[in-house]
Every structure is written in C-alpha cells, then in structure tokens.
Amino acid sequence: MIIIDGRASNLQADDFANLEELLVRVLEEELENRIVTDVLVNGEPFSELYPHQAEDIGIEDVREVEIRTVSVESMAADITTELYKVITLMTSGASRAATLMRRAEIGSSLEVVSDLVDVTRHFLGTVALLRKEFSINRDAELAPLVENMSSLLDEMSDMIDQEDWFMLADLAEYEFLSACSEWNAVLTNLAQDIAAYKAA
C-alpha cells in the first residue's frame, strides 16, 4: 500500500521492482509543487545512508510506504520565518566577533567571523532563491540591501587580509549590525508576498 499525506494512492507497490522505482514514480506523478518531508517504509522512517540505497530494497520487502509532504509555498513560508532567526544569529555573531577582536582574542574572533560570513552568504542565497521561485519583484527594496551586505563581506575579508583588527571590529559592530537591522522589514514583506502567492 502507498499512502501519500494520509490518503491511499492509486499506484500499486507491485508495479515496481524496488523502492527507488516506486519513489521516483510518486515524485513524478503525484507530488507536483510538493516537497517530501518524511518517508516511512513498513512504519519505520527511511532515509538513504548511501546514494540509491532505495534501489537495493526489493518491493517484496515493502508492505507499506507512507510519504508525507508539504506544499512548496508552505515550506517557503517556514523558511522565511527561519530567516528572522538567522538575522538574530548574524547580529549576535557580529557583536561577539567585535568583542573578541577588541580583547585581542584574534583566533577566536576569526572563527566567529568565518562562521558569520558563511551564514550571511547562505542567507543571501536563500533570499535570492525565494525571490526567483516566487517571482517576487522587490528589487528596489532588496537590491541595495544585498549589495550593501555583499560589500561589507568583501570589506571584512580585506580587513582580515590586512590584519586590521580594529577596523574589522568596527565593521562588525557598527556597519554589519546596522545592515542586519534593515532586513526585518524586508523579510516581513517577503513573507507577505509568499502568503499572497500561496492564496492565489
């Protein structure tokens, strides 16, 4: 039996040679604009430990497959909510980096700055992906913030190369924190756009 979001599918497990064939067909035919969150095989959570592990599971070993999904829009709304938390992490990271730098704890500070740069790049990438996926046209709002944040990351890298720890601390504490604070209103608008897309 194949169950998708609590409902029995018309597909029959016997029509497939292995679990991978079954999952691929379900994804292609029944899950348009949905994202799989959980797969249970015979009541047990399943995730591949190595690529194509599902191909090694013969259909004779499968009594029931349950697939749980969420809509792309719901996932995007959840991601947007998480972005508020990411901004909070970026803010606390920048403050911590500046404090450590001013205490001359350079090694610890550089670790925090490295994490901060990675998190910020992922943040900007996620915002860009949401804009593209949902055709959100807020260039007047977003472009200056993205450009400013990218520029700050470049400046921080330059300060590291020059070993100018005081300037790096100032950039983190003042300019980076200020840039972070400007994102909250934009994230609210992004969330509203996704909600409107979902309702349409």
The pLDDT tens digits of the residues spanning 2-41 come to 888 888 888 887 888 888 888 888 888 777 777 788 888 8
DSSP secondary-structure letter at 58? Answer: B
Per the CB < 8 A criterion, the answer to whether 147 and 154 are in contact is: no
Q: What does the pLDDT look like over 64-102, one tens digit per residue?
A: 888 888 777 777 777 878 888 899 999 999 999 999 988
User: Which residue type is seen at 192?
Assistant: Q
SS3 content of the chain, % helix, strand, coil (to 5): 70, 10, 20
User: Which residue type is seen at 35?
Assistant: I
Would you call 47 helix, strand, or coil by DSSP?
A: coil
How many C-beta neighbours within 10 Å does residue 25 have?
15
Instruction: Give the distance, in angstroms, between the CA of residue 72 and the centroid of all CA atoms in the same chain.
Output: 13
Would you call 6 helix, strand, or coil by DSSP?
A: coil
What pLDDT, on the 0 to 100 scale, is given for residue 176?
92
DSSP secondary-structure letter at 62? Answer: -
For the question of whether the overall pTM of this predicted structure is more than 0.75, the answer is no
What pLDDT, on the 0 to 100 scale, is given for residue 136?
66
